[in-house]
Amino acid sequence: MTESILITGGAGFIGSFVCEELLRRGNRVRVLDSLIPQVHGDVERPPLLPQGAELIRGDVRDGDAVARALKGIDSVVHLAAEVGVGQSMYEVERYTSVNDVGTAVLFERLIDNPVRRVVTASSMSIYGEGLYENADGEPVQDAERKTLKDGQANWEPLDEQGRPLTPVATPEWKRPNLASIYALNKYVQERTTHIMAKPYGIEGVCLRLFNVYGPGQALSNPYTGVLAIFASRLLNGQQPMIFEDGEQRRDFVHVTDVARAFSDALELPQAVGETFNIGSGQDRSVTEVANALAEAMGKNDIEPEIVGKGRIGDIRHCFCDTSKAADAIGFRARKDFGEGLAELAEWVAEQTAEDRVSEARAELEKRGLVA
């Protein structure tokens, strides 16, 4: 099955790889993207965007632009979003406008320009803390850290008796625990997709992405993925900056696996009406990842800086239970992490990046968002 597919936010890091995968499968691809400077710098067409994709420069909140972009379109991949947990906590109007209002505009225009299917990008951030088990082996869905303060000895969530909780892989059935404006935005995008799709005869699917990495990330954007931030620091001879004690655990999934997941979610009938986790199924500590990237980049002499402070809205552990996506749509990550890091390091070596991480940290501290 080949279609004409619109990708909102398709000129970004993930969008460009989704474009490439959809074109490879014989589809026609149109991109609607506002090309914001924080992500793209000053460019007319990002170099990572495949030449075979048609680019319309426009804002997803502009109903006329969205309506034009939807003409002749069969299906939509909705990626357009402001991305960044920390920045969302003080750029509240901007994040809510682009992410939530933008999604509302898209679906309002879809009423008069219906498509077969919409696949919306959600985020693991909606879980807040991931799933834990208590000392009795019982699941704990709403783990919380009671305090975040400078230099605290224990960053781990505890149960009501003060006993440590054990993090386990997070499945889709875990209740959302929205710890940041960005998480709230992504949950609204999810619910808007499922609420609006069915009454208008559209098939809706949502993918909760874990930590996506790979070549093409916005290295000069200090609010992007953690691996891109670490790579930017290392490229400029600076220490990767790690909050808390560095033992927080995450799931890193390669962008080519994510692009395949979106493409499959557009095609497979069993995806309709569902929400899936998309991750690698392997968890790693943030310190482990920083050291592995330094080695891949030949920067073994630069050790990460363990800040010993927490950021409001950050969570301790969240990694991916991949079983639902594997069982329902056959999705399994294929890219080996070491191989993926080597590819990222090779690409980063050919780039220049403005290191704005300290500037971003100062913004958070000025607003009391670093404990």
Q: Helices marked H in 236-336 — which ranges? A: 255-267, 286-296, 323-329
Look at residue 222 in the predicted model and tell me its pLDDT.
55
Look at residue 120 in the predicted model and tell me its pLDDT.
98
Look at residue 309 in the predicted model and tell me its pLDDT.
84
Residue 121 DSSP class: E
Total structural domains within the chain = 1
Which positions ≥6 away from 109 have C-beta within 8 Å? 63, 66, 67, 70
Look at residue 360 in the predicted model and tell me its pLDDT.
47
With respect to residue 209, please indicate whether it lies within any of the assigned structural domains: yes
Question: What distances in angstroms separate CA 186 from CA 85, 95, 281, 294, one per listed residue?
Answer: 11, 10, 21, 31
Is the predicted pLDDT of residue 368 greater than 70, yes or no?
A: no
Q: State the residue range of the domain holding 21.
A: 4-366
Is the predicted pLDDT of residue 357 greater than 60, yes or no?
A: no
Across 126-140, 262-276, 357-371, least confident range = 357-371
Is the predicted pLDDT of residue 361 greater than 60, yes or no?
A: no
pLDDT for 239-291, tens place per residue? Answer: 998 989 999 999 999 999 999 999 999 999 999 999 999 999 999 999 999 99
Is the predicted pLDDT of residue 365 greater than 80, yes or no?
A: no
Mean pLDDT across the chain: 90
With respect to residue 133, please indicate whether it lies within any of the assigned structural domains: yes
With respect to residue 168, please indicate whether it lies within any of the assigned structural domains: yes
Q: Which CATH number does the domain housing residue 236 bear?
A: 3.40.50.720
292 φ/ψ angles, rounded to the nearest 5 degrees = -65, -40
Residue type, 150: D
With respect to residue 371, please indicate whether it lies within any of the assigned structural domains: no
Question: How many Cβ atoms from other residues are within 10 Å of residue 55's Cβ?
Answer: 19
Across 309-319, average pLDDT: 85
Contact 106, 65 (CB under 8 A): no
- Token pair of 50, please? 């495949």
Look at residue 282 in the predicted model and tell me its pLDDT.
97
- % of residues, the chain, pLDDT over 90: 70
pLDDT class for 149, splitting at 50, 70, 90? Answer: low
The widest CA-to-CA distance across the chain, in whole angstroms, is: 59
Helix, coil or strand: residue 355: coil
pTM of the complete model: 0.92
Q: Please list the active-site residues.
A: 182
DSSP β-ladder status, 211-213 and 249-254: parallel
